[in-house]
């Protein structure tokens, strides 16, 4: 499977990275998530206080994650759940993303 951008982890960082890549012209994007849901740790953060900066309203972690997941669906960004990355073979990668996109477009995702 060859993809222009593969994002490991569908937590907030991975979702935001995918959306940012799309907004900057990338289309061949795939998110790999080991759990059977997107959103990462935000799904455990049931207190509110999220979303003030980005969405201008107070949201719980799951509500905040859902906003990003909705954007992923709206943009048609592909993702695979129940898919854990076990190894990365650097010899089969083309230039890393940080060499092709300006630094501000590269975000950290899963460990
Ligand atoms: C109890 C608690 C309360 C918090 N409260 C706040 C708060 O009030 N405000 C705030 O700003 N932050 C809060 N945080 C922190 C916030 O949740 C994290 O900063 C945020 O979730 C980090 O996002 P992330 O995408 O980097 O990582 P994560 O949310 O950890 O997402 C990483 C994703 O990658 C996936 N993954 C990992 N390894 C692999 C692999 N090998 N293959 C495929 N998928 C993989 C994981 O399943 C996960 O979905 C809280 C955290 C906790 C635990």
Ligand 1 center–CA 110 separation, angstroms = 8
Q: Is 31 in the pocket of ligand 1 (CB under 6 A)?
A: no
- Is 90 exceeded by the pLDDT of residue 90? no
Ligand 1 center–CA 13 separation, angstroms = 8
For residue 64, give the nearest of 13, 24, 3 by alpha carbon. Answer: 13
Average pLDDT over every residue of 88-103: 66
What is the value of pTM for the model shown? 0.86
Average pLDDT over every residue of 72-84: 98
Ligand 1 center–CA 100 separation, angstroms = 26
- Tokens 């907004």 belong to 23
Predicted confidence at residue 68, as pLDDT, reads: 96
- Is 50 exceeded by the pLDDT of residue 36? yes
- Is 50 exceeded by the pLDDT of residue 80? yes
Q: Is 106 helix (H, G, I), strand (E, B) or coil?
A: coil
For residue 65, give the nearest of 101, 91, 40 by alpha carbon. Answer: 40
In order of start, what are the domains of the chain with their CATH numbers?
A: 5-90 (3.40.50.720)
């Amino acid at each position: 499977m060859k993809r222009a951008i593969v994002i490991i982890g569908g937590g907030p960082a991975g979702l935001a990275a995918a959306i940012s890549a799309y907004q900057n012209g990338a289309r061949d994007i795939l998110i790999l998530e080991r759990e059977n849901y997107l959103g990462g740790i935000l799904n455990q953060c049931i207190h509110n206080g999220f979303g003030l900066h980005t969405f201008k309203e107070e949201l719980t972690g799951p509500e905040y994650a859902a906003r990003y997941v909705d954007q992923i669906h709206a943009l048609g960004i592909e993702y695979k759940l129940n898919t854990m990355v076990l190894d990365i073979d650097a010899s089969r990668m083309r230039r890393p993303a940080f060499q092709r996109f300006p630094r501000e477009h590269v975000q950290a995702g899963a460990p």
